[in-house]
């Protein structure tokens, strides 16, 4: 006769594999929206945090004008994905210009209130100091890393809406550039924000000034370009009913792409690490840390919960982020935002190295 404990043990062993399979962690679903200027640099390098992580499924990359013009950015991203052998991931072009702001408006603003330090696509030079093309939005100059053979397609706002409807409450929207595409998705589909899992964005540098002159201070990097380039879009995004919003801003200034880090990245020879060694720019890892926190929230060691909005009046404060505690907030639609104040930078660096070295599909 078989005792009950023996029966239970046998049944337990029989169903254990099924239980393990059922409890397997599903990959995290992410769409990254960014101004993917390249080659190298923080925009492109943020993609490595996603494609180099087996626990992440990148549904697509959506491209917005910011640090460069949209079409040139898309070309750099497409070529990087070819190098990483990840041409399976869609690249979807989005907004060519901000909702209201423009280069002429910016130039007029400068006459009254002072120089805009980083002008992105509207500036005269690229992040590496090469001549830019501020009045030629459709120009795609020859690329140092070579031209891509694949193409982008679709409309970013439509793609974003499609993904959150396909996977309701499962898709993290990672926004590391101006928020124009995200705002357009919100305006096209009022359910968009509520259907997303969360928004993690790079921006809201609340502890620093718009006009900075001390080139020897790390606060030089505190000009909040992502918000200032399209303040109206940022206002729309920050007043939409997201389930959760995380802002990664000042904490990114604790990071830097140094020669030592580049050597560590290149210690494993792959097409991606060779790309990094050739094109990495010695600047903070703004977008990389934002992407890392979207993937691994446990990197955050200190945060503050506040209400947040953006000033859209066309005066000296245009594009400035405003925050309030609950008892002082206007409550005119602004949402609660978790501002990352401190993060485990050492662990982030290790995760970045590992992801970068694992970014090439075998």
- CATH no. for residue 245? 3.90.245.10
- Contact (CB, 8 A) for 357 and 273: yes
Compute the average pLDDT of residues 185-198.
98
At 20 the pLDDT is: 45
Residue 83: inside a domain = yes
At 212 the pLDDT is: 33
Q: What is the pTM of this model?
A: 0.89
Residue 315: inside a domain = yes
What's the CA gap between 260 and 258, in Å, rounded?
5
Residue 1: inside a domain = no
Going by pLDDT thresholds of 50, 70 and 90, the confidence category of residue 313 is very high
Residue 9: inside a domain = no
At 206 the pLDDT is: 73
Going by pLDDT thresholds of 50, 70 and 90, the confidence category of residue 24 is low
Q: What is the mean pLDDT of the chain?
A: 89
Q: Residues for the chain: how many in total?
A: 362
At 204 the pLDDT is: 86
The token pair at 360 is: 């090439």
Q: Using one digit for the tens of pLDDT, what is the confidence trace for 330-343? A: 999 999 999 999 99
At 18 the pLDDT is: 41
Compute the average pLDDT of residues 76-102.
98
Residue 23: inside a domain = no
Q: What are phi and psi of 298, to 5 degrees?
A: -70, -10
Question: Could you list the residue range(s) of the whole structural domain that residue 165 is in?
Answer: 28-357
Residue 5: inside a domain = no
Going by pLDDT thresholds of 50, 70 and 90, the confidence category of residue 5 is very low
Residue 58: inside a domain = yes
What's the CA gap between 228 and 241, in Å, rounded?
22
SS3 string of 122-141? HCCECCCCCECCCCCCCCCC
- Contact (CB, 8 A) for 205 and 308: no
Q: What are phi and psi of 94, to 5 degrees?
A: -125, -135
Compute the average pLDDT of residues 242-260.
95
What's the CA gap between 95 and 44, in Å, rounded?
18
Compute the average pLDDT of residues 258-286.
96
* Total of domains in the chain: 1
At 207 the pLDDT is: 65
If one compares 105 and 322, the residue with the highest pLDDT of the two is: 105
pLDDT at residue 154 is higher than 70 = yes
Compute the average pLDDT of residues 91-101.
98
Q: Using one digit for the tens of pLDDT, what is the confidence trace for 201-240? A: 999 887 644 333 333 333 233 358 999 999 999 999 999 9
Q: What percent of the chain has pLDDT over 70?
A: 89
Compute the average pLDDT of residues 243-257.
95
The token pair at 201 is: 């964005």
């Amino acid at each position: 006769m078989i005792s009950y404990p023996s029966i239970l043990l046998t049944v337990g062993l029989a169903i254990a594999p099924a239980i393990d399979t059922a409890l397997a962690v599903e990959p995290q679903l992410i769409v990254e929206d960014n101004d993917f200027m390249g080659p190298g640099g923080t925009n492109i390098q943020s993609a490595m945090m996603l494609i180099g992580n087996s626990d992440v499924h990148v549904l697509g990359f959506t491209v917005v004008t910011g640090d460069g013009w949209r079409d040139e950015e898309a070309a750099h991203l497409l070529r990087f994905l070819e190098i990483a052998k990840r041409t399976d991931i869609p690249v979807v072009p989005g907004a060519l210009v901000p909702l209201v702001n423009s280069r002429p408006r910016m130039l007029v603003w400068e006459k009254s209130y002072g120089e805009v330090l980083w002008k992105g696509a509207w500036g005269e030079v690229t992040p590496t100091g090469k001549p830019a093309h501020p009045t030629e939005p459709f120009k795609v100059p020859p690329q140092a890393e070579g031209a891509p053979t694949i193409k982008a397609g679709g409309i970013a706002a439509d793609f974003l809406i499609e993904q959150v409807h396909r996977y309701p409450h499962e898709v993290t929207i990672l926004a590391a550039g101006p928020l124009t595409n995200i705002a357009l998705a919100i305006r096209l589909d009022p359910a968009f924000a509520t259907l997303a899992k969360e928004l993690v964005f790079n921006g809201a540098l609340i502890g620093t000034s718009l006009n900075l002159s001390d080139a020897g201070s790390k606060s030089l990097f505190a000009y909040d370009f992502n918000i200032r380039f399209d303040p109206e879009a940022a206002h729309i995004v920050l007043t939409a009913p997201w389930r959760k919003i995380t802002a990664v801003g000042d904490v990114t200034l604790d990071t830097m792409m140094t020669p030592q880090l580049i050597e560590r990245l290149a210690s494993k020879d792959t097409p991606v690490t060779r790309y990094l060694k050739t094109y990495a720019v010695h600047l903070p890892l703004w977008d990389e840390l934002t992407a890392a926190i979207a993937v691994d929230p446990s990197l955050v060691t200190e945060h503050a919960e506040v209400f947040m909005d953006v000033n859209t009046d066309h005066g000296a404060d245009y594009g400035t982020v405003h925050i309030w505690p609950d008892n002082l907030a206007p409550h005119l639609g602004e949402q609660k935002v978790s501002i990352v104040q401190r993060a485990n930078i050492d662990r982030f660096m290790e995760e970045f190295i590992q992801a970068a070295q694992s970014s090439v599909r075998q």
